């Protein structure tokens, strides 16, 4: 199957997604939210990041619809919103442990 090349638009979309995944801080945030929805404060405290930094990164992830926030009382809980991406992340997390 020849798998013809993705269009420029699709390539741009994919690259943008990968670019967002390509930062260690954002990746940590995503993996943390992959286990369960997490509040901004919990992310900041658990990952030892400033609240501001977490919020900035969440904005980028939100913008690309990689993450979605649900308000519960004062807090906003973030979770992964793209099944392809969350599945792929779980996969990669598994693969990166193997040394084949």
Partner DNA sequence: CAAACATATAAATACATATTCATATGTTTG
Partner DNA sequence: CAAACATATGAATATGTATTTATATGTTTG
Binding residues for its own copies, rule: CB under 8 A, are: 2-3, 5-6, 8, 10-24, 27-28, 31-32, 34-35, 84, 88, 90-93, 95-97
Q: Would you say 30 or 98 has its CB closer to DNA?
A: 30
Residue 53 is encoded by which pair of tokens? 């930094």
Q: Would you say 7 or 71 has its CB closer to its own copies?
A: 7
97 binds, among its own copies, DNA, none (CB under 5 to 8 A by kind): its own copies
Smallest distance from the beta carbon of 1 to its own copies, in angstroms? 9
Per CB under 7 A, residues contacting DNA are 19, 23-25, 39-41, 49-53, 55-60, 69, 71, 73-76
Q: What own/partner pairs with CB < 8 Å and gap ≥ 24 does 25-33 have?
A: 25/49, 25/53, 25/57, 26/57, 26/60, 26/61, 29/54, 29/57, 29/58, 29/61, 30/61, 30/66, 30/67, 30/80, 30/89, 31/89, 31/93, 33/67, 33/78, 33/79, 33/80
68 binds, among its own copies, DNA, none (CB under 5 to 8 A by kind): none
């Amino acid at each position: 199957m020849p798998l013809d090349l993705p269009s420029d638009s699709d390539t741009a979309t994919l690259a943008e997604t990968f670019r967002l995944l390509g930062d260690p801080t954002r990746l940590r945030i995503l993996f943390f939210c992959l286990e369960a929805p997490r509040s901004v404060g919990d992310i900041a405290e658990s990952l030892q990041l400033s609240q501001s930094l977490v919020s900035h990164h969440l904005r980028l992830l939100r913008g690309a619809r990689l993450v979605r926030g649900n308000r519960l009382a004062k807090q906003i809980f973030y979770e992964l919103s793209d099944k392809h991406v969350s599945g792929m992340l779980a996969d990669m997390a598994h693969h990166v442990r193997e040394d084949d």
